[in-house]
Amino acid sequence: MRRLQLPLLGCLSALACEPQWHLVQVQSGRLRGEFVRSSPCVATPAAKAPLTTGVYVGENLRNVGGDRIILRFLENGEVWAFLTYTPGEKVRCEPVDIKQAAQRSKSRWPKPLLARYCAGERELEFELRGFNHREASPVRYTFTVSADAQQLRGASDYDENIEAHWVEFESVCLAPGTEEPATESPCAQGAKDRSPTAAHYSSTR
């Protein structure tokens, strides 16, 4: 068969970025979550510079189940996807406690979802695992970062023409323990500085 060039598919990195996706299980008390990591990612943190801080939001940026999500890229190469609360479409500033998140969401998927992204030049690719009804479904995202790093354009398995723009994390998050959008000092300083890592969990591979 004639090979076609399918845009936005495959690893687009010019830095030999060849992610290998595998499942990581997360245990917290009786609750268990799963996320997908990619490794290895050859790109160095320096290559991901445009994405080291802040988060990206977009009207048409949604997870597998259709909920709006917010993406946060960290210097260590992790990407966190936060499901938004409705109404308000806010996320927690510290959504790293999987147990708390699971309790809040009852039977819903604990949030956030985590993956390590793979980036080169201004292209990045990552995969998140969500649930559509009861069926686990990894979702692949592929984006191009704008030259000023303020916007992402790309697609996922579920949506085309995704556009997301950079915002301060504090503008879209709720202070811990609150349900309403914070008006002052929305996030503890610790939340701002802390990079959530797998160390918060006991994980097995």
Partner 1 sequence: MNARSFFRYAEGLSLGALMCACGEGAGRYGHARSYVPYADEAELTYLEFRLAGARNDPASFFRNRARIFGTVVRRVSAPGAVTLVLRQRELAPGNTCISKNKDAWMQEDKPPESTCRVTVTDERLPLIRAVFGEGAGAAPELLPGDLVMLVGLIDYMDGEPVIAASAYRAWPKGEFIMWESTALSRLARFD
Q: Taking CB under 8 A as the criterion, which residues in 134-193 touch partner 1?
A: 136-139, 157-160
For partner 1, what does the binding mask look like between residues 110 and 139, x meaning CB under 8 A? ----------------------xx--xxxx
Amino acid occupying residue 80: W
Please pick, from the candidates 66, 103, 168, 171, the single residue that binds partner 1 as defined by CB under 8 A: 66
Nearest approach in angstroms of CB 38 to partner 1 is 13
- Whose Cβ is closer to partner 1: residue 22's or residue 103's? 22
Query: Over the range 160-191, which residues count as b (16 or more CB within 10 Å of their CB) and which as e?
Result: eebebebeebbebbbbbeeeebeeeebbeeeb
Using alpha carbons only, how large is the chain's radius of gyration in Å? Answer: 16
Nearest approach in angstroms of CB 92 to partner 1 is 24
User: Alpha-carbon distance 139 to 118, whole Å?
Assistant: 14
Nearest approach in angstroms of CB 113 to partner 1 is 15
Identify the CA nearest to 116 among candidates 80, 62, 141: 80
Residue 9 sits in the site that holds partner 1 (CB under 8 A): yes
User: Alpha-carbon distance 14 to 119, whole Å?
Assistant: 9
- Whose Cβ is closer to partner 1: residue 1's or residue 199's? 1
- Whose Cβ is closer to partner 1: residue 97's or residue 159's? 159
Question: CA-CA distances (angstroms) from residue 89 to 6, 57, 92, 171, 181?
Answer: 33, 10, 10, 11, 9
Of 47-55, 64-72, 92-100, 170-178, the window that binds partner 1 (rule: CB under 8 A) is 64-72
Query: Can you give the binding site for partner 1, defined by CB under 8 A?
Result: 1-6, 9-10, 64-66, 132-133, 136-139, 157-160
